[in-house]
Amino acid sequence: MSLVDIGKSFSHTLREKLVPQRFVFHHVPKCGGTSVGRALRKRYILSQATVVPESSFRAFEAFTGREDRQQMLIDVLDLREQMMLYHMFEDVRGISLHVRFSNVAHDRFRDLYKFITVLREPVSRFISHYHWSYGKPHAHARIEEDFETFLSTERARRMGATYVEYFCGLPKDESITSDVAIAAAIGNLKRLDVVGNLADLGPFERDIQSALGVRIRIGRENVRKKRPGSQSELDNPALRARIEEICAPDIAVWNAIFPQQVVK
């Protein structure tokens, strides 16, 4: 046996001893996933991976030569799912990335990997997602419209169905606002091993410890600074009603997963 083979065998034995339980963390945008993913990966330092949204989009852009950015924001999700599957077949123990629920991954690896995510009240998530993406001219996922103009766009409608898009498990050309897609997203979320609530991270941390056998402490990273003197969109009843209408698919998912915290 060569020194390389000996090293690989030793590394595998060490990983089996220190981080035997593998996981995939489905990082949904603006749900505290940066903090959760980093907390998890710190405990899996011997074998962990992530897929950076900006870099994966730029790789997709360079490979395809495409310029239809809005559609590419949807199509790049296929690439990220493929990258997740690559890491799983490579037996990476801790994987954290912006990725949809994958029936292929779950069916093939559910006995080996734990599947984890954390969600946030949908209206707050929608507003946070907008402000995070607005005013970043060089970012791949930038939003250029002011808030009220943005509410009339197709991207806003998709953003209001983010939970459905991420967890329905349907082909990307299927409607993510249909009753079928919403029901599929609810069903798949219930198949995950741990689903946390950003507003109450204590139980989430305990559930992760139970599932993975490691204790984590989730910090606060990637938090958007509020603009001084800004008026919350939620203080405007008419505007809030429009946002809730747009977010109706995600609200339906949230209410099914967290019935004790129903959003009306």
pLDDT of residue 7: 57
Confidence of residue 19 (pLDDT cuts 50, 70, 90): low
Q: What value does the mean pLDDT take over residues 202-208?
A: 96
Residue 230 has pLDDT above 50, yes or no: no
Q: What value does the mean pLDDT take over residues 224-239?
A: 66
Q: What mean pLDDT value characterizes the chain?
A: 91
pLDDT of residue 188: 98
pLDDT of residue 227: 52
Residue 194 has pLDDT above 70, yes or no: yes
**Tens of pLDDT, residues 139-148:** 999 999 999 9
Q: What value does the mean pLDDT take over residues 29-45?
A: 94
3-state secondary structure the chain: CCHHHHHHHHHHHHHHHHCCCEEEEECCCCCCHHHHHHHHHHHCCCCEEEECHHHHHHHHHHHHCCCCHHHHHHHHHHHHHHHHHHHHHCCCCEEEECCCCCHHHHHHHCCCEEEEEEECCHHHHHHHHHHHHECCCCCCCCECCCHHHHCCCHHHHHHCCHHHHHHCCCCCCCCCCCHHHHHHHHHHHHHCCEEEECCEHHHHHHHHHHHHCCCCCCCCCCCCCCCCCCCCHHHCHHHHHHHHHHCHHHHHHHHHHCHHHCCC
pLDDT of residue 2: 67
Which of 4-8, 68-72, 99-103 is predicted least confidently? 4-8
Residue 17 has pLDDT above 50, yes or no: yes
Domain edges within the chain: 21-261
Return the CATH fold of 21-261: Rossmann fold (3.40.50)
